Amino acid sequence: MKRPCVLTIAGSDSGAGAGIQADARTVQALGGYATTAITAITAQNTRGVVAWRAVSPDLIAAQIAAVLEDFPIAAIKTGLIPGAAGVRAIAHALGQHRRVPLVIDPVLGSTSGTRFLPATGVRALKKELLPRATLVTPNWLEAAVLSGWPVNDFMEAEMAGSILAVEFGCAVLVKGGHAPGGSCRDCLVTGNGPARWFESERVPTQNTHGTGCVLSAAIACGLARGETIERAVTKAHAFLQKSLRAGRDVRWGSGAGPAFAS
């Protein structure tokens, strides 16, 4: 059987912990074939982002077009998008491929504090891309920014997910990995029935860089295989936990190392 083809549209991480590198590693580990469109070049390591530059919107669009015209893309995911012009370029390039499942990981900035998508880009994302999404995977901060609803606990996370699901007509997975406590709880709102919670014990490891990328790429791989959203999220959640456990004792630098996509 052919490997399912996934297109990941994201930034390049020189430390290979997140972005394009983490996406491609995840898709390959799950038996898929990863094609890419790079949106930004970042200079970073386990301690944070040192510098970054956006790829021009025209070149982002050209990469997407080149892949889509030649590969049987079965799912698409986006990560870092550098500004409103980049959002519009991606939306236009995907315009003729609305039947292909789209997972949007709305990367607003890095955990270390670098902002990638300004307010104008957030407005463009909400207008141009989120209505096209199959699934959106914000963390608590991103869910609050996109929904306009404060997210300080799990009840508010579910409310923000519900607001986004209604507004954009898509499924929403609000990730709880940054929440305090000994467990991680992700909330899936699909609009069909009550929210579903995915809970797992927090893995004691410093290697957590790129967990959102690994999770969303794994979901995209599941959708590329024809799985339902619920099934794809279930399998991706288990895969991420396995990856964190597999790499928890490895030293990947002096800061937050990458989640090991086993």
Residue 81 lies in a domain: yes
Q: What pTM value is reported for the model?
A: 0.96
Task: Assign 218 to helix, strand or coil.
Answer: helix
> Which position among 32, 121, 210, 222 bears the catalytic label?
210
pLDDT score of 54: 97
C-alpha distance from residue 107 to each of 87, 113, 114 (Å)? 12, 12, 11
Instruction: Say if 29 falls within a structural domain.
Output: yes
pLDDT confidence of residue 168: 97
pLDDT for position 221: 97
Measured over the CA atoms of residue 90, residue 92, residue 93 and residue 95, the dihedral's sign is: positive
Summarised one tens digit per residue, pLDDT across range 242-251 is 999 988 888 8
Q: Does residue 102 fall inside a structural domain?
A: yes
Look at residue 251 and tell me if it is in a domain.
no
Question: What is the pLDDT at residue 261?
Answer: 66
Q: State the total domains in the chain.
A: 1
Residue 49 tokens, joined? 């982002």
213 is catalytic: yes
Is 211 in the active site?
A: yes
What's the rounded mean pLDDT across residues 190-210?
A: 88
Is 210 among the catalytic positions?
Answer: yes
**One-letter identity of residue 86:** G
Catalytic residue among 15, 175, 221, 247: 175
Angle at which helix 154-168 crosses helix 140-147, to 10 degrees, equals 50
User: Which of these is catalytic: 17, 19, 83, 212?
Assistant: 212
In a domain, 33, yes or no: yes
Residue 130 lies in a domain: yes
Question: In this predicted structure, what is the pLDDT of residue 231?
Answer: 97
Summarised one tens digit per residue, pLDDT across range 26-79 is: 999 999 999 999 999 999 999 999 999 999 999 999 999 999 999 999 999 999
Annotated catalytic residue: which of 170, 184, 187, 213? 213
198 is a domain residue: no
CATH number at residue 77: 3.40.1190.20
Using a 10 angstrom Cβ sphere, with 0-12 exposed, 13-18 middle and 19 or more buried, the burial of residue 158 is: buried
Asked whether residue 225 is domain-assigned, the answer is: yes
- In the residue annotation, 42 being an active-site residue is answered as no
Candidate list 211, 221, 247, 257, residue with the active-site label: 211
User: Mean pLDDT lowest for which of 1-5, 143-147, 186-190, 217-221?
Assistant: 1-5
**In which domain, by residue range, is 84 found?**
5-141+207-246
In this structure, are strands 5-13 and 33-45 parallel, antiparallel, or unpaired? parallel
> What's phi and psi for 251, nearest 5 deg?
-95, 115
Structure tokens at 46: 């386990």
